[in-house]
Each structure stands twice: as structure tokens, then as C-alpha cells.
């Protein structure tokens, strides 16, 4: 019998088969397939969020903590990034400072700030110094607003060099 159409015929010369190396040598250029690729498209920039800030941002403010009668300057850093909604507070906070997360969230929600799909991390440094009291609320709220891009850019420089002390009420009043 004859051959069926679907049976492959052996190549006349094994070194000329397309897509394979033959006997350790690369294929001849005339027998390689040419792939035409379109020029890469430039990356599209996302529209800036309301307020003109960035989606992923970092902002700093200052606060004060007491150790006995001695006051220590604490840098409050807030980082906002896209992701699952979370509000993480790090830097050796005591129970009152940990509760400030909820006071800040409630106060900003009262003012009309929507949380959306963003992950917030607030760092209180130096990390080895215990942070006590409720005086961190205002500095945390301002750092969070700046990191989310809700404040004008020209305000960021003055935030980083100013100490903010105050407790926030759930209605956003300062005590």
C-alpha cells in the first residue's frame, strides 16, 4: 500500500528541519521562521485620583510622646497603597494609640473621605520608644490624608516639619 496523507514524510536533510537544532548546530537563517512583531505600545497612564495626589503615597507628620516628664518627638509616617482595605499601626503603640485607628477612620468618614480598596500602614518611629496617650490622632489623620492624596502637594512640606497633638472625636472634632 501507499502512504496515507496524514503520515509525515521524513525530512530530506535533518539539519534543515524548522524549529529544531540539528547535530548541535543552529539552523540556517534561510530556513528559520520569521515572526513579525508590532512595535510596543507606550504605557497608558491612569487618570490621577481626585485631589491631584497619587494612588500610592507616603506622607510624614510629627507628634510627641511622654516618657515620664520627658517629651520625645515621634515621626508619624503613613503609606497608602492599592490592595485589600486595611489600617495597620506599627511602632510600639499602647492600647490607647491602637484605638486611635478607629477614631481616625470614623472622623475621616464623617468628613466624607471614602476608604475604597486601599491599604494604609502607619508607622510611629522611633520604634523602640513606647507611644502612649491619645495625642496621636490629629497627626495620624493628617498623615493619612496626605498619603491618600487628599491634601494639596504644597502642604506636604509643612506637614513634615510641624508637630500635631490632639485627640479626634468621632464627629471629627479636636479635643
* Rounded CA separation 166/173 (Å): 10
Instruction: With a cut of 80, say whether residue 147 has pLDDT above it.
Output: yes
Mean pLDDT of the chain: 79
Give residue 115's pLDDT: 80
Beta bridge partners of 89: 122
Between residues 141 and 33, the one the model is more confident about: 141
Sign of CA pseudo-dihedral 122, 124, 127, 129? negative
Radius of gyration of the chain (CA): 30
Instruction: With a cut of 70, say whether residue 173 has pLDDT above it.
Output: yes
Nearest to 109 by CA among 85, 76, 92: 85
* Rounded CA separation 170/159 (Å): 23
Q: pLDDT (tens digit, 9 = 90+) per residue, 60-76?
A: 999 999 999 999 999 99
Give residue 153's pLDDT: 84
Contact 60, 159 (CB under 8 A): yes
Ranking 38-42, 97-101, 110-114, 142-146 by mean pLDDT, the lowest is 38-42
Between residues 95 and 13, the one the model is more confident about: 95
Q: Please compute the mean of the pLDDT values over residues 159-169 and round it to a whole number.
A: 94
Give residue 135's pLDDT: 93
State whether residue 75 is helix, strand or coil.
strand
Amino acid at each position: 500500500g501507499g502512504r496515507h496523507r496524514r503520515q509525515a514524510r521524513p525530512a530530506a536533510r535533518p539539519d534543515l528541519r524548522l524549529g529544531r537544532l540539528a547535530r548541535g548546530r543552529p539552523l540556517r537563517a534561510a530556513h528559520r521562521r520569521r515572526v513579525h512583531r508590532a512595535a510596543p505600545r507606550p504605557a497608558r497612564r491612569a487618570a490621577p485620583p481626585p485631589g491631584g495626589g497619587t494612588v500610592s503615597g507616603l506622607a510624614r507628620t510629627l507628634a510627641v510622646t511622654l516618657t515620664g516628664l520627658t517629651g520625645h518627638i515621634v515621626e508619624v509616617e503613613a503609606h497608602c497603597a492599592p490592595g485589600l482595605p486595611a489600617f495597620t499601626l506599627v511602632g510600639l503603640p499602647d492600647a490607647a494609640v491602637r484605638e486611635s485607628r478607629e477614631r481616625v477612620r470614623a472622623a475621616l468618614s464623617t468628613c466624607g473621605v471614602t476608604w475604597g480598596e486601599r491599604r494604609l500602614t502607619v508607622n510611629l518611629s522611633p520604634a523602640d520608644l513606647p507611644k502612649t496617650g491619645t495625642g496621636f490622632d490629629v497627626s495620624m489623620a493628617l498623615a493619612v490624608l496626605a498619603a491618600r492624596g487628599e491634601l494639596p502637594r504644597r502642604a506636604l512640606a509643612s506637614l513634615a516639619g510641624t508637630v500635631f497633638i490632639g485627640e479626634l472625636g468621632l464627629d471629627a472634632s479636636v479635643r
